[in-house]
A and B are shown apart, each in its own frame.
Chain A
Amino acid sequence: MVEKEGAPMGARETAQQPNGPIVAAFLSATIGLFVLGLVQVGTVVSDTFKERVFDLGKAWIPEAEGIGPYSGKETLMLVAWIASWVGLYFALRHKDVALRPWFGAALAILAVAALLVWPPVWHLIE
């Protein structure tokens, strides 16, 4: 990771902005989805955790009683996504990083997230 120094202002200013916030945007999206997968597996494994997740959904989503624990799973995904975006944004906002490896990591996280929400996978854990 290389710190960007004194980017000159001008016609191509946009291209010379640090690219850390770009990484923060796509990486946080996949982190939120990974947390969704983890929470889904957690609710399958533990009824107590499932209840807590449901309580979280009921705390703010209208008619969450009708939606069930899914409301809490959405909530945790949103919290993880937004919180990691904010955190990564502030951590990377002045930095220029290599985009390709970070995007590769994001794709790997996304693939694991998709696997965790695939019912045959969490039925194996059940």
Chain B
Amino acid sequence: MDDEIVKPEASDDPRRRSAERTLLIIIGATLGFAGLIAVVTPPVASLLGESRHAIPGALHGMSAILFVITGTIGAYMGYRLFFGRLADLRDLRVIASINACLSLLTVMFGNWIYIYYRAKGGPRSYFLETNPVVHEIFFEFKEFLALFTLPLSVATAYILLREREGLLERRWLPEIVGVLLVIAWGCLMLVFGLGAAITKLRSA
């Protein structure tokens, strides 16, 4: 008799699938309602601001905030995976895939907003005149470190999607994936903090 016990994935449970569908509907309805209120009550222009870079700025900020949320969830799951406390990797696969997409989007929108940062009379020239260290440390290091999140997130998502539940049976792989998730999150948080500091010091 085969002594290997094949555990059913938690995702096979119809009650869980039903609960997830309900939760998604509630989240969707709440976001839709909040969005409707936001669009109907104040003018959209007031939400975005009046400058030339309002749209890229909003998109970059929004994708970065979403990335911080999903990245933090991913890092927490990575921590649990590292210590062997995560048995079902389905949610982590979803989060890691979202992280990879959000990293790409945030970098792309970051490129767009960078044009305004470097433009004549923009924050870059202001910082170079008044306090070059702010540009060099806050911005230049941030722009490079932001790129760190992309290959790390994509590699993590690839490993999780390729290995699926078999990942847990590989020696050292859960620990490796946990470390990758936490490193990418650390880079993200540093970049996010530096980016927020720049906007506080001087908006584009």
Which B residues lie within 8 Å of A67 (CB)? 111, 114-115, 118
**Alpha-carbon separation in the docked complex, A119 to B144 (Å):** 10
B12 interfacial by beta-carbon distance below 8 Å: no
A-B complex: 7 closest residue pairs judged by Cβ atoms: A14-B166, A66-B115, A29-B151, A117-B144, A15-B166, A15-B169, A29-B155
A79 interfacial by beta-carbon distance below 8 Å: no
Q: Is the CB of A29 within 8 A of B170?
A: no
A74-B147, A99-B173, A117-B145 known; A22+B115 contact, CB < 8 A:
no
Q: Is the interface of B mostly helix, strand, loop or mixed?
A: helix
B6, B115, B140, B145: the one contacting A114 at CB < 8 Å is B145
Chain B residues at the A interface, C-beta cutoff of 8 Å? 4, 6, 107, 111-112, 114-115, 118-119, 136-137, 140-141, 143-145, 147-148, 151-152, 154-155, 158-159, 162-166, 169-173, 176, 179-180, 183
Q: Is the CB of B158 within 8 A of A25?
A: yes
Interfacial residues of chain A within 94-116, with CB under 8 A of chain B in the complex: 99-100, 103, 107, 110, 113-114
Which B residues lie within 8 Å of A2 (CB)? none
List, sorted by A's number, 15 A–B pairs whose CB atoms are closer than 8 Å: A12-B166, A15-B166, A21-B162, A22-B159, A25-B162, A29-B152, A66-B114, A67-B114, A67-B118, A70-B114, A100-B172, A103-B172, A110-B183, A118-B141, A123-B136
**Alpha-carbon separation in the docked complex, A66 to B120 (Å):** 10
Interface size on A, as a range, is 35 or more
Q: Is the interface of A mostly helix, strand, loop or mixed?
A: helix
A53 interfacial by beta-carbon distance below 8 Å: no
What's the least CB distance linking A104 to chain B, in Å? 10
Q: Is the CB of A99 within 8 A of B111?
A: no
**Alpha-carbon separation in the docked complex, A109 to B48 (Å):** 40
Chain A residues at the B interface, C-beta cutoff of 8 Å? 11-15, 17, 19, 21-22, 25-26, 28-30, 32-33, 36-37, 40, 61, 63, 66-68, 70-71, 73-74, 77, 81, 99-100, 103, 107, 110, 113-114, 117-119, 123
